[in-house]
Amino acid sequence: MAKLKVKFACTDCGTESPKWLGKCPGCGAWNTMVEEKETVVKTQGMGSSLIQTKEKPRPIIHIESGQEPRIETRLQELNRVLGGGVMPGSLILVGGDPGIGKSTLLLQTSHALASKGLKVLYISGEESVRQTRLRADRLGALTDKLYVLCETNMDQVNEAIEAVAPDFLVIDSIQTVYDPSVQSAPGSVSQVRECTAHFMRVAKIKGIATVLVGHVTKEGAIAGPRLLEHMVDCVLYFEGERHHSYRLLRAVKNRFGSTNEIGIFEMGESGLREVSNPSELFLSERPLGVSGSTVVASMEGTRPVLVELQALVATTNFPSPRRMSTGIDHNRMALIIAVLEKRMGMFLQTQDAYLNVAGGVKLDEPAVDLAAAVSIASSFRDAPTRPFDVIFGEIGLTGEVRAVARAEQRVKEAHKLGFKRVIMPEKSLKGWSPPAGIEIIGIETVSDALKAALG
């Protein structure tokens, strides 16, 4: 029997070292090296029938190029994020804060697929089958095609996969599953890496769409080695504020679709409910006739979303004013304030500035620059904007307003929700005609935008 060797692995990136180090040489994180024993390669068991294949290499021109049909769920928001539905044989990783609703989302998805006649195997390592049944009763997710198992041993999981032969597999969560041949605790770097690699081979060879639930760190990233995100086909983050009822499903990696789409859900007593028109949700509590409040048309993938931007500028007695932003990059906010000071002559050096995207949405595109600038100027001058204006555009350092993409879709969304005016870049008006009943104001500089919005 070979002697077991001790090694140290980083819990963040998976870098291995023969001795303990205070700072990881791979990612530079401190105090992340943990002791692990050498992994024993298993020659038998471990569901060898699952991972063996006799397929031989073939010329690429002899491989069929037909488009494999996707498995559509009843949750259209989930289909949008995945690129049209679940791809057979794909490996999907879902992460999110504890209690955000990951298990609820996957149980509803499992029920939707099982209701279409597909076999679904839901393996929970954190809840008993009775607890899963209680959640299913609350969600109304009861069907004879949905199989539930509480197990963490990889050998027992393989036997269940062989017995059920599912079309859709859920592992909740990957940090609780362990391989008996790996001499380390469940959730360690070696266990997570080996178990994920095994499920990847099962998904690809047997064509089973597999979803892995992953824990997250305090910073919000998927716990475990970074290699985990490289191994899977799709990485989804389930986000949301505990003080709000809605949740955002965002893709940061997707081999079968776009990573710009988001899905919006609302958490209720009977589970997650899809939000088909997110603009109405984000603007439902918007005050009218208040300074510092503007509406911006942002693009989330191919979907235009109208959200409210709120700014508050207040005098400070401290030598260095505070600059705080929620939902917008802090560096972008500093850039906008610098442009207002230099190009517009606003003396903001003695003013605290706070910028917030109402509802907790995160906006990361430059098209929100102009609305942020108008909000800050409106609060600084204590001059409210018109309640039925929509503003969008990118700001340059010289004070010019640059064109943005998909301007036509943004204007149509504003018109659909009853807004009367749109303040946007002049250069984005080329090549299309605005709908009737809405006024379009094309501007070229920030000064023009402030005159049009604040009068």
Q: Is 26 marked as a binding-site residue?
A: no
| 101 annotated among ligand-binding-site residues | yes
- What is the Cα–Cα distance from 338 to 33, expressed in whole angstroms? 42
Q: What is the strand order of the sheet 33-37 is part of?
A: 16-17, 6-10, 33-37
Is 85 annotated in a binding site? The answer is no
Residues 6+ apart with CB under 8 A from 136: 107, 111, 142, 146
Residue tagged 């209680």 (tokens)? 134
Q: Pairing mode, if any, of strands 209-214 and 91-96?
A: parallel
Collapsing DSSP states into helix, strand and coil, what is residue 304? Answer: strand
Q: Are 16 and 190 in contact (CB under 8 A)?
A: no
Beta-carbon contacts of 365 under 8 Å, excluding residues fewer than 6 positions away, are: 298, 299, 404
369 is in an annotated binding site: no
54 is in an annotated binding site: no
Query: Residue 454 and residue 386: Cα distance in Å, rounded?
Result: 8
| CB distance 70 to 84 below 8 Å | yes
Phi first, then psi, for residue 391 (nearest 5°) are: -130, 135
* Residue 292, annotated as binding a ligand: no
329 is in an annotated binding site: no
Task: Give whole-number Cα distances, 359 to 84, 240, 244, 308, 372, in Å.
Answer: 27, 10, 7, 8, 16
Rounded-to-integer distance, Cα 115 and Cα 103, Å:
18
- Counting Cα atoms < 13 Å in the Cβ hemisphere of 117 gives 0
Cα 275 from chain centroid? 16
Q: Are 16 and 26 in contact (CB under 8 A)?
A: no
328 is annotated as contributing to ligand binding:
no
d(CA 415, CA 420): 7
- Bridge partners (DSSP) of residue 6 are 37
Question: Which residues are annotated binding-site positions for ATP?
Answer: 96-103
Question: Which residues are annotated binding-site positions?
Answer: 96-103
